[in-house]
Chain A
């Protein structure tokens, strides 16, 4: 019994994948080059996607591989271009408090393991109650083989609607804060990092200064005047950028 449990190939695979995850996590912590860290985070996501496949959670693995290894790696690269390429080493005196937090949280999690159901336990909350109900009713009520889709789109349609709205508002926030054209040539960043500065005052600042100067003017002129100036300025910069290229 014990022997068959130990040599089960999926268990060996799971342990190997988790060992790789731990190794990758430690190398991320030890590294200073942000480029390597971003790439290793992609590796971490890909390995955990493989682990999810081994746990039969194919839908989650799909999402993890596409979002974690694909899109978020690219976004982190884009963010890295605006910052330094290397992180500064942290002095040991500043590492003690985070280490304590991590140790306490980790020990608390180990303490909680005792209360968790065993892997594949028939009486675990996932295998009793509403989960089994969905599995039974999907074949009768919806007639599709993939229960995950049935739960996601039909039984839990409200939740998924909420998720869609969350994604929509995330996109809305990005569009409002950054805009689709980004800086439109108003900000420059050196690839070596740090030197992110507005060559000419960016729109928010100049508007502030202008409104401070024109504080006694009527409301309309405060808003209209600087914005038209900004438009012209950013256009000029864009032209300048094109000339430089």
Chain B
């Protein structure tokens, strides 16, 4: 069968893993360069959304199941709040990461990494959730109607 989008499909299939990899680079390099949880989360969601735009919503839902969304968004906030509660338990103020390690600066590093991971989880899954919710509301559009 003749597929009019073969170039788009090949190129984006090649690009999606690199976009995801870049998102993780932005996430874990956020201490040293621009970026952080918010940016990385949106870029990771953009990778899934690009996949959904090219290969269809059903394929994207197989790659990133909707059941992950509820878990991911709650896990993110829980990770952030949990870090704060952990610092409480260890004797510090809420979200004062210095108590997480012997060296306060190391504690700050651990705390920032944990908190940014929480933000990444929430932002990624919420962005994908909004896209799934909007994207599922209409039938597929014919090529001529654009």
Contact = CB atoms under 8 A, between A and B. Distances in A.
Nearest to A171: B126
Interface residues of A, number: 55
A79 B122 CA distance: 23
A149 B39 contact: no
A198 interface: no
Given A70-B42, A161-B84, A181-B136, A78 B35 contact: no
Nearest to B70: A175
Q: Interface residues of B toward A: which range?
A: 35 or more
* Main SS class of interface, A: helix
Contact of B34 (A59, A70, A144, A150): A59
A131 interface: no
A62 B26 contact: yes
Contacts, number: 170
B99 interface: no
Contact of A164 (B70, B76, B97): B76
B36 A59 contact: yes
A153 B115 contact: yes
A145 B32 contact: yes
A146 interface: yes
A143 B105 contact: yes
Contacts of A184: 136
Nearest to B121: A164
A146 B122 contact: no
B77 A168 contact: yes
Interface in A154-171: 154, 157-158, 160-161, 163-165, 167-168, 170-171
The 5 closest A-B pairs by CB, nearest first: A182-B136, A171-B126, A58-B34, A191-B145, A178-B133
30 contacts: A59-B36, A63-B42, A70-B42, A71-B45, A75-B131, A81-B141, A142-B105, A142-B112, A143-B108, A144-B32, A145-B32, A146-B30, A148-B34, A148-B36, A149-B112, A150-B112, A153-B111, A157-B115, A160-B115, A161-B80, A164-B118, A168-B76, A171-B126, A172-B73, A174-B126, A174-B130, A175-B69, A182-B132, A182-B136, A191-B145
